[in-house]
């Protein structure tokens, strides 16, 4: 699994102009799933994500986790994270998991976050979505279970 994690002051996802997920403070997370990913990969990333110290404390140091600041997550499925651009000019997405497999693991990932008492909002799997957010810091990290 691969995540693009961005600290945010606000994030929303819209479908046909309607807001389907929105948070005020926390993390904007793009979630990609590949063929060999398992529930263990999702569990690992949830533990890392919920405890990653990327929020500032009173001294301005990144010492606080999502859990400690009581932040939320806007989670958006993103198969293009597994796009391969090495050949030609059109990306190949053969490394992305099939939609039914990816959706199941994506849903489990979100459920595991909720079990950690983290408020999760989502987009709609497979939909054409517009995402708006304010990257705070900016802080952007890539988390990958293959690396």
Show which residues are catalytic: 80
Alpha-helix residue ranges (DSSP H) falling in 52-133:
66-69, 99-115
First-residue to last-residue Cα distance in the chain: 10
SS3 of 45, please?
A: helix
Contacts of 5 (CB under 8 A, 6+ apart): 27, 28, 29, 49, 52, 54, 140, 141, 142, 143
State how far the Cα of 30 lies from the Cα of 2, in Å rounded to an integer: 8
Helix axes 99-115 and 39-51, enclosed angle (nearest 10)? 40
């Amino acid at each position: 699994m691969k995540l693009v994690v961005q600290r945010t002051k606000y994030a929303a996802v819209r479908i046909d102009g309607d807001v389907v997920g929105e948070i005020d403070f926390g993390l904007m997370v793009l979630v990609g799933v590949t063929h060999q990913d398992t529930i263990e990969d999702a569990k690992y990333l949830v533990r890392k994500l919920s405890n990653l110290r990327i929020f500032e404390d009173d001294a301005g140091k990144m010492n606080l986790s999502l859990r400690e600041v009581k932040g939320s997550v806007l989670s958006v499925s993103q198969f293009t994270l597994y796009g391969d651009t090495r050949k030609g000019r059109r990306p190949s997405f053969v490394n992305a998991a099939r939609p039914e497999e990816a959706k199941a693991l994506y849903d489990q990932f979100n459920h595991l976050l909720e079990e950690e008492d983290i408020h999760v909002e989502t987009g709609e799997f497979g939909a054409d979505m517009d995402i708006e957010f304010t990257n705070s810091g900016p802080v952007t990290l890539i988390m990958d279970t293959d690396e």
